[in-house]
Structure formats: C-alpha cells, structure tokens
Amino acid sequence: MDTKRYVNTIVRKIRCSGKRKKEIEKQLLMDIHTRIEQGESPEEIFSQMGTAKEIADSFNETVSVKEQKRYVRGKALKIIIPVIFLLAVLILFGYWMLPKSFDIAHSKYFDKEQVEAAMKETIELLDAGDYTVLQESADPKMQALLNAETMDEVRGLMSDDWGERKLFGTAYMVELRQGNRHFAVGEITVTYENVSATYRLTFDEDMRFSGIYVR
C-alpha cells in the first residue's frame, strides 16, 4: 500500500469535520515523508504506526462527542438527500406517466364529431364482421385482435345472439394523456334486438383504432 492510500484509509475512518480531516491528512503525510527521508521504508513505518483502524480509533478518542454527532448527521444527510431527490424524481415520473383525462372539446389533437363518427363506423364494421377494413385503420397491437374468433368470444360473454343493431345511444368522449401520448376514449351504448352493449373505444393521435372494451 502506498502512503497516500494508507493515509486516506485512516482519514476516512475519523469521525470529524472535513476541515479537521484535511489537517490530520496533511500532518500524517508530512510525518511519513519525513521518516522516509530519514531512511525508513513505507512498510516499516506502516507496521510501526499500526493499522488504519487503530490509528483512526486513536484520533476518534480526541474528537468531542458533539463533533462526532455532527459528523454522523452530515454523513447521513449525504445519503438521505440523494435518496429523497431520487424518490421525488420517481414520483414526478410516475405522475407524468399516469393517464389523465381532459375535456375533448378543448383538445388540440381530436375533433369531437370526428371521434364520434369513428366510433360509430368502428361498431358498424364490427357488427358486419369486416375485420379487413378494421385492421387497416387499427394500430399494430389491435390488428392481431381484430378477427372473428376473438370478437365472437367477446360478444359471447354477453349473449350468443345479439340480434340486429337498433339504436346508437349518446356518445361520451374524453382526451386521455399518458406521458407524451394522446388518445381519444369514447363510450357509447348500442341497443340490439336482444342486448344492450356499451362500447369503450380508444383511438390514438392518428385516429387509429387502439383499444376496445365491451360490457
């Protein structure tokens, strides 16, 4: 071990202020260099002085309890403050990523009438089983779900026979923001001969069909 590392190891274990640590470090380096100039080898000096812990313990015995407490408190703050900062960043990021809804009438990305028309057109295509056209207007994730097998399973959860579509109810829409992404989410209840189904449909900024929930 070289002299600088030996002294640094000692100083790190002393529980006192940074200013006093620098003074101790300076004094130790001076004493060791003086002995080296007198012909002693670093190994001999380190052996005679003792281990870094032994020397640090002897210094700590001269440090007041008040100063040691101040040192411990300062060390704890050096750990706690970065942790608090990191938690604050994570909380802000989590809040930023949480979906937030806004009145679609004030949206810069969506037109209310256009979204309502897209909702009704999507439902009409679903009822007609025209999945080829639906896939063309859907995002990649939705395309894999737009097929007769999947949609029959969804419809079958309510009834095996919905009958003909009779009436569209009132459409309700919001703009949903999640991080930097914007979505139009609309709900509409549709009356069929044998059931009433409420659709929740999602469209992205490009008005691609992005999500469906039916109850």
| CA gap 183, 104 in Å, rounded | 10
Distance in angstroms (rounded) separating the CA atoms of residues 52 and 29: 13
Q: What is the pLDDT of residues 169-212, one digit of tens each?
A: 999 999 998 888 899 999 999 999 999 999 999 999 999 999 99
pLDDT tens-place string over residues 43-79: 887 888 888 888 888 877 877 777 777 776 767 666 6
**Residue 96 scores a pLDDT above 60:** no
Q: Cα separation of 184 and 180, whole Å?
A: 14
Dihedral of CA atoms 90, 96, 100, 102 in degrees, nearest 10, equals: 150
> Structurally, what CATH architecture does the domain formed by 101-214 represent?
Roll (3.10)
pLDDT above 80 (res 98): no
Other Cβ atoms within 10 Å of 146 Cβ, number = 22
Instruction: Calculate the CA dihedral of residues 87, 91, 93, 99 and round it to 10 degrees.
Output: 160
Which residue is listed with tokens 């579509």? 165
Higher pLDDT, 128 or 42: 128
In 98-178, which ranges are continuous DSSP H helix? 112-128, 131-136, 140-143, 148-156
**CA-to-CA distance for 112 and 72, rounded, in angstroms?**
61
Report the pLDDT value the prediction gives residue 133, as an integer from 0 to 100: 94
Is the C-alpha dihedral spanning 199, 204, 209, 213 positive or negative?
negative
pLDDT at 190: 97
Higher pLDDT, 87 or 41: 41
Share of the chain above pLDDT 90, in %: 43
The pLDDT assigned to 125 comes to 96
DSSP-based three-state secondary structure for 212? strand
Within the chain, which residue ranges are assigned CATH 3.10.450.590?
101-214
Average pLDDT over residues 109-138: 95
State residue 34's pLDDT score. 86
Angle between helices 3-12 and 42-49 (to 10 degrees): 20
Q: Which pLDDT does position 89 carry in this prediction?
A: 65
pLDDT at 37 over 60: yes
Percentage of residues in the chain having pLDDT higher than 70: 88
Residues 138-171: pLDDT tens digits? 999 899 889 999 889 888 888 989 999 999 999 9
Q: What is the pLDDT of residues 3-16, one digit of tens each?
A: 888 888 888 888 88
- Give the Cα separation of 152 and 160 in Å (integer): 8
pLDDT band at 95 (very low <50, low <70, confident <90, very high): low
Rounded-to-integer distance, Cα 51 and Cα 67, Å = 24
